[in-house]
Structure 1
């Protein structure tokens, strides 16, 4: 088996890499995992991957196998994409391509739009056009929020709808356009494809090792980080009002569950689009209360959306002029849920309840919200 993977040094990509390598080793598969990875500063691509395979957060069974053996299953593609056809066309023939690399940026700032589309849609087009002549299937890792702003029950098919989706930011739009490109081009070429869409990714929950670990703290973690450090900087907590739709929720899914679903799905011919999400979303008001309690910021309240919201103090101003303005569209959006019947049949969905969410934030707080840099 041959698998090509982008984003192996990322939050999700690293866990996909672990799943593939574990399968190769444990099942005696004669496989090769091609990783599209570049040097970062003075750190070579091989050194970056080696760190992921030999650190305290590496799955124990992989760590016991050792770097030398693991690298026998890995081949790095560390060249300019224009050089790939000439250098790799023969050896990657027939590979599955999992495109996990992406630029997660929920900014609502218009000046960020071009960069977000460049890092997501334009890069996806380049990757697809470079590798599609040689591969057996293209698997695109998108986001459940490429659905745009919708209410009610959301199914797995985002591209055969009787309406045009409305997007909350450029990231959602860029991921949707990337999906559309992959579907249209794959169909025109007769190339099998998959669109797999995780919701908000949280810490590990599927085993007994390194529970709640996640290498980078994003989305709801950023809110917790902001108020954790704010609470510790000042003895007086100024009241912060969160503008919310009290009926909406936050859909969180553990990173290791997402990786396992991708691994158990990418060879299936009966799945073209799949949302990798929780059965129910966490109510936004309850979630805020849990997060703020865990980070020790008690002076807050929730209010409905209004056109005449004026900052009442410096903390509100800083929050709403930084991460708050990017999170607000998700706090005030219409309530929705996902149809998880197909997902549940693949692998039972873990329950992200109050205890799990609290433990995720606790883990981040104990690690001082410090991202792991590879």
Structure 2
């Protein structure tokens, strides 16, 4: 099969032929119909993830059709249309048994712990726990975008942050996760403030439901505090930056909640005294388990959420290496989908 192969960190990958995966016991192999290009893939390409062993195939947001079924897999057959969370949970550890597959103690992640979906085929381990059947009306490109960015934003805003109607939510970073969060928070009835340095991204944020859009600057904190009469109820760092974290925490009102979704490979400094003194909450959010997809899919089917609107670019496998490297210069507004 053809795949995008990273042979050296930070060096533009190549597209070449590699062996197709075979289904291990309990696993399936998917023919990749669509896969998303995400900033997490860039972090992996840059060498920020200790799980990656070179040479490596990135890609963790995916949708496709089952091409082969491993021993012990029941209820699934060749040709089924499916997607999967980017965290493939084992289904049997303590956290999985409690329903918290997104923090599985033995999790696998395509594109990180094993070869991913920037390829014609990809394996999905622990298929019984991780496969999500796609409604016939949901196209593969839209479904691929659900696996990381949209599902991550959905769980962060709705389940971890527990955003409610009337609350003010400031979202820092309007890439795929941030724009998804804007759409989801707006659907919940929140007043959404989107912050970015890209005018095209801010324009998209407003079209997805942001009430206000702010150009990121040293004045952002005060602008948010003025707009919200003392601070936002909820902030989210959807990009991953120490500077953003500081602004987000300073933008909160007392007893506010901060959602950390963006990765912070260089670490972060926290004003713990302020966290304590104002009873602020720092909430990490990491993906969403397969069993939580039905609520999200129902809202998509009803038209409340429109993840298809987030797709702004579709590229081929051959265009992917350059697109991945270009993330070093910033994120293209919206969601980029790869058709292998």
**Quick check: which one's strand share is greater?**
2
Normalising by structure 1, report the TM-score: 0.28
**Quick check: which one's helix share is greater?**
1
